[in-house]
């Protein structure tokens, strides 16, 4: 059963991690129809100004330590994109795991709580698509030492608080988000431009399920509809399975640049997902990966497109 999306019209929505690449398009889209509050540390005044320019109210707080009573008590929906990956285990666990618990306690009257996790919680298993029951592991240790462990810890806290305080919740394990404001494929494009070799795991091809911002913006109201006290946990990526090698070759077709790959056993390996539960709950995504990547280049680096 595909969940009917909740209506966000006129609702009070709290979005964490608003300055990040994933959250920014969500704020821009939802601020047109809802009363959006964005909470972050806002260490840079220009970041806060940019968020307010999108039509959102800004709240300044560190989820790890600050008083969260700055958050209005009548928030309808919470979308948690916040993530700390400083490399300091003490701080990152406090910010990501304890922080989400503190956030849920402050917003325990919300109709639904959506926690954005990551497929980085899964153990490496070659080309096998990960199901929601696949083994968890310290997947991103080589590049982001605290990331996978913090994400696993945060999921555990979400489940505990949801069960204990009867907060309808969904955990969505995100897989390679990208859009007109960038993402992992854009970093690869910049590496191609500079002639930098792109590390890939030796067990090629390295498959993922990239999801465009237009798709996750459309699916989030369905993820909120799926929230329950038992906690719905599902993979969240694009319906198409695409390899790093494929999207880099396509970037080359668009720009004339040549990707250079370097086999590295420490690189992130294939991390594609089983989409069965996602499709049953949310339906298929609509943006073809080629269309999405071309739009990304047109938005971020139009001067690189051939014939433009």
DSSP string, 196-250: PPEEE-SSSS-EE--EEHHHHHHHHHHHHHT-BTT-EEEEE--SS-EEHHHHHHH
266 located within any domain: no
Interatomic CA distance for residues 19 and 156, integer angstroms: 25
What is residue 44's DSSP assignment?
S
Q: Which two tokens stand for residue 53?
A: 């320019």
For residue 194, the Cα-to-chain-centroid distance in whole angstroms is 27
For residue 49, the Cα-to-chain-centroid distance in whole angstroms is 23
Share of the chain above pLDDT 90, in %: 92
252 located within any domain: no
Q: What is the pLDDT of residue 71?
A: 97
- Please determine, for residue 245, whether its predicted confidence score (pLDDT) is greater than 90: yes
CA dihedral 161, 163, 167, 168 (to 10 degrees): 130
Q: What is the pLDDT of residue 1?
A: 81
- Please determine, for residue 70, whether its predicted confidence score (pLDDT) is greater than 70: yes
8: number of CA atoms within 13 Å, CB side?
A: 27
Three-state DSSP class for 2?
A: coil
Domain of residue 86 covers 12-179+212-238+274-286
Share the mean pLDDT of the chain. 95
Three-state DSSP class for 188?
A: helix
Q: What is the mean pLDDT of residues 150-176?
A: 97
149 located within any domain: yes
Total domains present in the chain: 1
Q: What is the pLDDT of residue 308?
A: 59
pTM: 0.96
As beta bridge partners, residue 232 has: 170
- Please determine, for residue 140, whether its predicted confidence score (pLDDT) is greater than 90: no
5-46: pLDDT as tens digits: 999 999 999 999 999 999 999 999 999 999 999 999 999 999
231 located within any domain: yes
297 located within any domain: no
CATH of the domain at 78: 3.40.50.720
246 located within any domain: no
Q: What is the mean pLDDT of residues 58-78?
A: 96
- Please determine, for residue 295, whether its predicted confidence score (pLDDT) is greater than 90: yes
192 located within any domain: no
What region does 87 belong to: left with phi over 0, alpha with psi -120 to 50, or beta?
Answer: left
54 located within any domain: yes
């Amino acid at each position: 059963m595909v969940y009917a999306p909740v209506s966000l019209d006129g609702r009070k929505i709290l979005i964490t991690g608003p300055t990040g690449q994933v959250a920014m398009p969500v704020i821009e889209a939802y601020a047109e129809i809802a009363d959006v509050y964005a909470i972050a540390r806002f260490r840079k005044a220009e970041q806060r100004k940019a968020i307010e320019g999108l039509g959102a109210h800004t709240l300044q707080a560190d989820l790890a330590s600050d008083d969260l009573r700055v958050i209005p008590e009548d928030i309808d929906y919470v979308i948690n994109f916040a993530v700390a990956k400083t490399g300091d285990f003490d701080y990152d666990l406090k910010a990501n795991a304890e922080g989400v618990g503190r956030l849920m306690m402050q917003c325990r009257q919300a109709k639904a709580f959506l926690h954005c996790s990551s497929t980085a919680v899964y153990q490496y298993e070659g080309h096998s698509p990960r199901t929601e029951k696949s083994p968890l592991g310290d997947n991103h240790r080589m590049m982001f030492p605290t990331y996978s462990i913090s994400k696993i810890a945060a999921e555990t806290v979400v489940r505990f608080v949801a069960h204990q305080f009867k907060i309808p919740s969904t955990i969505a394990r995100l897989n390679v988000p990208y859009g007109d404001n960038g993402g992992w494929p854009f970093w690869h494009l910049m590496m191609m431009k500079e002639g930098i070799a792109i590390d890939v795991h030796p067990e090629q091809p390295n498959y993922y399920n990239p999801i465009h911002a237009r798709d996750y913006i459309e699916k989030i109201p369905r993820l909120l509809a799926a929230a329950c006290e038992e906690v719905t946990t599902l993979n969240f990526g694009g319906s198409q399975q695409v390899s790093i090698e494929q999207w880099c070759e396509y970037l080359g077709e668009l720009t004339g640049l040549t990707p250079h790959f370097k086999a590295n056993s420490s690189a992130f390996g294939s991390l594609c997902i089983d989409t069965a539960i996602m499709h049953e709950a949310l339906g298929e995504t609509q943006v073809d990966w080629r269309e999405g990547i071309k739009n990304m280049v047109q938005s971020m680096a139009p001067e690189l497109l051939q014939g433009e």
